[in-house]
């Protein structure tokens, strides 16, 4: 009997599993992935049935079967132990353990002076103003320029561009940062497109400077806490740009 191992299974859509099962009908499959991560990205949603099929991960499919053997792995190796603790508290009831010594995660801490010399996690309060476009997306030019300053500082400290990733919560901000960071060779991604990427340093742009309490489409309220899992599982060090009172007003961040 053939054996197939599917890594990053939380990002593999159900349709892919169907195709694999059709191609390797006698195979036994082992799925490795994080059940708390977001489902696969679906770029086109105007075909509801296709979108529904493609937005279910193979882990969700296995969970629905209710008879698949499960092995829970609680040791992670990529992030700094101090950063990992945030993810563990948010999503895993403090059950995660870090398999990497903090001494091997000193790349940023040894080059830059941090507010907390033991944890490479920084929130930068940007006094800017976000602009909402006709599409409902948001952008913040001051925030984007602040990111550029940080990127240039990191590169001046000897950190290569390929070790840095910027994640924008809104597409308008991504387009703006693509332009402003064009000559830096730093990758800019959305939350969805950054799934599966691993970088030493992740810069997260929150973008918005005001919250509409009556709106149901606010990004972090509609997408939920699973969005945070992405940032804390692909990084070793992180920097978050945003406006303090806007972020504090959001549940999870405020706590």
pLDDT at residue 86 in the model: 74
Mean per-residue pLDDT pooled into runs of 10, the chain (255 residues): 84 85 90 77 67 78 83 82 77 83 72 76 85 91 95 92 91 96 94 74 85 51 49 64 61 47
Phi-psi region of 40 (alpha: psi -120 to 50; beta: other; left: phi over 0): beta
pTM here is 0.72
Q: Quote the pLDDT of residue 153.
A: 92
Q: How far is CA 198 from CA 78, 141, 163, 193, 236, in A?
A: 8, 26, 9, 12, 9
How high is the pLDDT of residue 149?
95
What's the confidence (pLDDT) of residue 45?
60
CA distance 157 to 29: 45
Distances from the Cα of 64 to the Cα of 20, 57, 183, angstroms: 18, 11, 47
Q: What is the per-residue pLDDT for 87?
A: 75
pLDDT value at residue 250: 52
Boundaries of every domain in the chain: 3-65, 110-248
Instruction: Taking each helix axis as running N to C, give the angle between helix 226-233 and helix 81-91, from 0 to 180 degrees, rounded to the nearest 10.
Output: 160
Task: For domain 110-248, give the CATH number.
Answer: 3.40.50.300
Of the candidates 227, 147, 163, the one whose C-alpha atom is nearest the C-alpha of residue 195 is 227
Backbone angles phi, psi at 223, to 5 degrees: -90, -25
Task: For residue 201, give the nearest of 167, 243, 242, 252 by alpha carbon.
Answer: 167
Residue 83 CA to residue 109 CA, distance in Å, equals 13
Q: Which of 16, 245, 213, 11 is nearest to 126 (CA)?
A: 245
Give the pLDDT confidence score for residue 247 in this predicted structure: 57
Strands 131-132 and 97-98: unpaired
């Amino acid at each position: 009997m053939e054996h197939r191992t599917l890594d990053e299974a939380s990002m593999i859509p159900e349709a892919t599993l169907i195709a694999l099962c059709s191609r390797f009908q006698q195979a036994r499959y082992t799925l490795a992935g994080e059940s708390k991560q977001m489902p696969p990205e679906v770029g086109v949603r105007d075909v509801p049935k296709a979108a529904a099929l493609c937005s279910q991960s193979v882990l969700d499919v296995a969970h629905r079967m209710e008879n698949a053997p499960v092995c829970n792995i609680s040791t992670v190796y990529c992030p700094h132990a101090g950063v990992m603790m945030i993810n563990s508290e948010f999503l895993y009831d403090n059950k995660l353990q870090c398999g990497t010594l903090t001494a091997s995660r000193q790349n940023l801490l040894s080059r830059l002076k941090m507010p907390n010399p033991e944890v490479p996690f920084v929130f930068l309060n940007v006094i800017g103003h976000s602009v909402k476009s006709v599409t409902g997306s948001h952008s913040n030019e001051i925030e984007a320029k602040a990111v550029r300053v940080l990127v240039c500082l990191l590169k001046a400290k000897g950190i290569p561009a390929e070790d840095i990733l910027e994640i924008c919560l809104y597409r308008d901000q991504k387009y703006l940062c693509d332009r402003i960071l064009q000559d830096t060779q730093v990758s800019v991604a959305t939350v969805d497109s950054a799934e599966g990427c691993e970088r030493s340093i992740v810069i997260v742009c929150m973008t918005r400077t005001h919250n509409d309490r009556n709106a149901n489409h606010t990004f972090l309220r509609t997408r939920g806490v699973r969005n945070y899992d992405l940032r804390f599982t692909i990084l070793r060090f992180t920097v978050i740009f945003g406006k303090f009172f806007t972020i504090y007003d959001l549940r999870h961040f405020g706590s």
